[in-house]
Amino acid sequence: MKKMKKSVVVDHLCRVEGQGGISVSIEGRRVTRVEMNIFEGTRFLEALVVGRLYNEVPPILSRICAICSAVHTVTSLMAVEDAFDTRISPQTKLLRELMIQGGNIESHALHLFCLAIPDFLGYSGAFTLAGDHPQEVKTGLRLKKLGNTVQEMVGGRAVHPVNAVLGGFGTVPTRETLLTLKEELMKGLEEALAATEFIAGLEIPNFCQSPTVYAALDSSGKEYSLFGDRITFSSGASKEIKSYKEVCNETVVPHSHAKHSRFEGKPFMVGALARVMINGHKLDFEARKTKEKFGLDSPSDNILHNNTAQAVELIYSIERSIRIIDELVEREIRDEKPVKIRPKGAQGTAAVEAPRGTLYHSYTFDNQGRVTIADVVTPTAQNLANIEKDFRASAERLIEEGEDSLQAKLEMVARAYDPCISCSVHVVRLR
Amino acid sequence: MAKLKIGIFGMTGCAGEQIVILNCEDQLMDILKILDIRSFHTAMSKNDEVCDLDIAFVEGAVLQPEEEVLLKEIRERSVLLIALGTCAVWGGVAAMKNEVSREKLRDQIYGAAGRMFKSIPAQPLCSFVKVDFSISGCPIEKEEFLQAVASLVHGDIPVLPKYAVCTECKTNENICLLLEKGELCLGPITVAGCSARCLSYGIPCSGCRGPVEEANIASEVDILKEKGFTLKDIHNRLRTFSAPAEVLQTYLAKR
């Protein structure tokens, strides 16, 4: 008998935003190929900033990604300041964190309600989902707007923030602005908590279960945080942020414009699920209860739980934003001017937890403060090798499945990683 | 009245314009009532790849031969093609060093292993197809997009400002960062529409919306030189968002 051949090709999955795809081939009872292809055009942004002055770098590199632009901006600012030994004020630190929490709220709300939930309920997207579940889509849009409002009020713009600059902020938001924001966050928290009931009711399939190493930033601090001073692995290993290259260990692969990462020979996962797995015990308040409600207090080896982990973080980020505002108001807002930057020949590195996982920026400057080397490692790039591992595990388990159903399920796996917006939904083509 | 059939497409960029459209949270459900969205990969599956469209909104710059083909296909099937955002209108940040060979840049990022990747210097949409209308910005302003949609639904071509960010900044009564604070501000030569957003936060204009019609680049450069900036830094700044723009190319060619 002729060997049965099956192949699945999915267009439009990407590097950080844009075009990439999935190719999986099955021959007989064997999965012969799993690839996450990245077709997004390469803009060479890291090479383009070489020769630019230090203060031009954050706004240019923010353009790597629209939906993660707040965290790209802050990570970039921190890397420049790390190089020049700039000490920023506690107020600036809190405001930057608030911006990032806003980005996390917006990104998770968009992914969860508009991009991922339609999968679980069998819709082609939020627009069709809205026909039957208008309430859930409206909740998603309101929470997404809340995250954008936070980013706008602090960062000056929801996409590519303008107000966060080296050493501080162009204009510090007023006490009144922050208190208005707090009211909106309180309302948003109620709404997000109500939505967790709906999310808890979604059935999470387990066709993609596969042992996974998780990685996230961690610190000796007691609170769950999107910042940290070392990279911790669920395998027990730990690395300094400065040694990120040993972790990301990027290699170029022929089928992808994005480089692949492995640590100790194994792929690993970064993102909301990794953070909850590694630092979940530090969660408090309603976020902690939500984590327990979703059963995320025990180890998970199912990437589809990244969706529920995002729901936990949605609650966390709203609660944390409220606490940041309380702290800012309690300390009394000061109209601080940005700290003066003193450029020198030096190297600086920073890492922050972006919505999709750990983001690294690292630069080397000459004596005038011009970039000689720039390196950015995005979470999606780190996840690619792990996505391929999950494709293989899923395809092996679903070997009997028809091509349509196999495609839909592989897309669900890819989408669970939330691999940056433009890649999250795509056209499917059979080859 | 039949709904307008539209498509929202992305070439290479940060997807910022598509995000801004999705950020119209308060209007999104109403937009669905007046527009028949046939293609929008970022937001939905089951896109129609062949149907005729009344309007195609296209963001991003063209960086790959495949994108040129796709763009021409989109043009063929659309009555109107609208360029969204600075990458689509002017080439964007990816076009800042188009004079440097792609091979050299590729080797810098990927090393020898990256040789199989094809890449062409970043170009705006108008280098390949007729663009009927452009909404600039990095990213576009939500209000400009919504107003444009409102005009198009009524059969009108949208009206966008033809004056400089400087004018909006004056209307906002901001202190002039260029003349009074000596900062590297591109407000006088950048097209308006953002209500001088950055300047209102005390941040100089970086020119993210691209040049205003008949921008006097030479005069701007003279002022900046007077303020103590080197020609290298001024030129770098001019080239950041819209290097392929004719007015900038003409100026730089004379240098």
pLDDT in tens, B122-157: 999 999 999 999 999 999 999 999 999 999 999 998
Instruction: Kindly state the tokens that stand for A250.
Output: 């990027």
Q: Which of B102, B201, B230 to mutate to test binding with chain A, by most A CBs within 10 Å of its CB? A: B201
pLDDT recorded at residue B133: 95
Of A185-189, B51-55, B98-102, B248-252, the one with minimum mean pLDDT is B98-102
Residues A301-325: tens digit of each pLDDT? 999 999 999 999 999 999 999 999 9
Chain B stretch 5-34, residues whose beta carbon is closer than 8 A to a beta carbon of chain A: 10-16, 18-20, 22-23, 25-26, 28-29, 32
CA distance A14 to A18: 5
- Could you give the ipTM of this predicted complex? 0.95
Chain A residues with CB-CB distance to B233 below 8 A: 53
> Could A427 and B47 be called an inter-chain contact, meaning their C-beta atoms sit closer than 8 Å?
yes
> Could A56 and B117 be called an inter-chain contact, meaning their C-beta atoms sit closer than 8 Å?
no
Q: Which residues of A375-393 are buried (b: 16+ CB within 10 A; e: fewer)?
A: bbbbbbbbbbbbbbbbbbb
Instruction: Kindly state the tokens that stand for A255.
Output: 């089928």
pLDDT by residue for chain A (431 residues), tens only, comes to: 456 777 777 665 432 345 667 888 888 888 888 887 766 566 788 889 999 999 999 999 999 889 999 999 999 999 999 999 999 999 999 999 999 999 999 999 999 988 888 888 988 888 888 889 999 999 999 999 999 999 999 999 999 999 999 999 999 999 999 999 999 999 999 999 999 999 999 999 999 999 999 999 999 999 999 999 999 999 999 999 999 988 887 666 666 555 677 888 889 999 999 999 999 999 999 999 999 999 998 899 999 999 999 999 999 999 999 999 999 999 999 999 999 999 999 999 999 999 999 999 999 999 999 999 998 888 888 898 899 999 999 999 998 888 888 888 988 898 899 886 433 222 222 22
Task: Return the CATH number of B4-153, one of 3.40.50.700, 3.10.20.310, 1.10.260.40, 3.50.50.60.
Answer: 3.40.50.700
Which residue among A41, A59, A66 places its CB closest to the CB of B139? A66
Beta bridge partners of A348: A363
The CA–CA distances, whole Å, from B7 to A51, A74, B35, B78, B80 equal: 39, 34, 10, 9, 11
Residue B45: pLDDT above 80?
Answer: no
Cβ neighbours around A23 below 10 Å, total: 18
Which residue among A18, A52, A169 places its CB closest to the CB of B12? A18
Residues B72-98: tens digit of each pLDDT? 999 999 999 999 999 999 999 999 988
Of A135-139, B231-235, B240-244, the one with minimum mean pLDDT is A135-139
Chain B stretch 68-107, residues whose beta carbon is closer than 8 A to a beta carbon of chain A: 92-94, 96-97, 102, 105-106
Which residue among B25, B44, B93 places its CB closest to the CB of A63? B93
* Phi, psi (degrees; rounded to nearest 5) at A370: -95, 145
Which residue among A48, A156, A158 places its CB closest to the CB of B201? A156
CA distance A97 to chain B (A): 19
Dihedral sign for Cα atoms in the order A339, A345, A346, A350: positive
CA distance A282 to chain B (A): 32
CA distance B209 to chain A (A): 13
> Could A41 and B44 be called an inter-chain contact, meaning their C-beta atoms sit closer than 8 Å?
no
Chain A residues with CB-CB distance to B184 below 8 A: none
Chain A residues with CB-CB distance to B19 below 8 A: 66-67, 159, 421
Chain B residues with CB-CB distance to A251 below 8 A: 113
User: Scanning every residue of chain A, which has its alpha carbon at the shortest distance from the alpha carbon of B23?
Assistant: A145
> Could B233 and A53 be called an inter-chain contact, meaning their C-beta atoms sit closer than 8 Å?
yes
Q: Which residues of B24-61 are buried (b: 16+ CB within 10 A; e: fewer)?
A: bbeebeebeeebebbbbbbbbbebeeeeebbbbbbbbb
Amino acid at A161: P
Q: Hey, is the C-beta of B50 within 8 angstroms of any chain A C-beta?
A: no
Residues A312, A317, A320, CA angle at the centre, nearest 5°?
120
Q: Tell me what the mean pLDDT of segment B20-37 comes to.
A: 93
Residues B177-230: tens digit of each pLDDT? 999 999 999 999 999 999 999 999 999 999 999 999 989 999 999 999 999 999
Name the average pLDDT for chain B: 93
Which residue among B16, B110, B119 places its CB closest to the CB of A252? B110
Domain boundaries, chain B: 4-153, 165-254
Number of Cβ pairs < 8 A linking chain A and chain B:
181
Which residue among B92, B202, B233 places its CB closest to the CB of A171? B202
Beta bridge partners of A37: A21
> Could A428 and B60 be called an inter-chain contact, meaning their C-beta atoms sit closer than 8 Å?
no
User: Scanning every residue of chain B, which has its alpha carbon at the shortest distance from the alpha carbon of A115?
Assistant: B43
> Could B28 and A170 be called an inter-chain contact, meaning their C-beta atoms sit closer than 8 Å?
no
Q: Which residues contact B152 (CB under 8 A, 6 or more apart)?
A: B4, B55, B80, B158
Beta bridge partners of A25: A7, A33
> Could B15 and A18 be called an inter-chain contact, meaning their C-beta atoms sit closer than 8 Å?
yes
> Could B43 and A163 be called an inter-chain contact, meaning their C-beta atoms sit closer than 8 Å?
no
* Phi, psi (degrees; rounded to nearest 5) at A113: -80, -35
CA distance A50 to A38: 25
The CA–CA distances, whole Å, from A206 to A269, A348, A359, A397, A425 equal: 17, 42, 28, 10, 21
Instruction: Kindly state the tokens that stand for B225.
Output: 């030189």
Chain B residues with CB-CB distance to A142 below 8 A: 25
Q: Checking DSSP bridges between strand A371-377 and strand A357-365, what pairing results, if any?
A: antiparallel
pLDDT recorded at residue B117: 61
Q: Which of A12, A39, A42 to mutate to test binding with chain B, by most B CBs within 10 Å of its CB? A: A42
> Could A425 and B206 be called an inter-chain contact, meaning their C-beta atoms sit closer than 8 Å?
no
> Could B202 and A65 be called an inter-chain contact, meaning their C-beta atoms sit closer than 8 Å?
no
CA distance A127 to A393: 31
Strands (E), chain B: 4-10, 35-40, 53-59, 78-84, 133-135
Chain A residues with CB-CB distance to B116 below 8 A: 254
Strands (E), B33-186: 35-40, 53-59, 78-84, 133-135
Q: Which of A38, A43, A117 to mutate to test binding with chain B, by most B CBs within 10 Å of its CB? A: A43
Chain B residues with CB-CB distance to A44 below 8 A: 94, 102, 105-106, 108-109, 119
SS3 A230: strand
Q: Hey, is the C-beta of B64 within 8 angstroms of any chain A C-beta?
A: yes
User: Scanning every residue of chain B, which has its alpha carbon at the shortest distance from the alpha carbon of A11?
Assistant: B41
User: Scanning every residue of chain B, which has its alpha carbon at the shortest distance from the alpha carbon of A15?
Assistant: B14
Instruction: Kindly state the tokens that stand for B155.
Output: 């059969």
User: Scanning every residue of chain B, which has its alpha carbon at the shortest distance from the alpha carbon of A376?
Assistant: B109
CA distance B178 to chain A (A): 15
* Phi, psi (degrees; rounded to nearest 5) at A129: -60, -35
Q: Hey, is the C-beta of B205 within 8 angstroms of any chain A C-beta?
A: no
pLDDT recorded at residue B227: 97
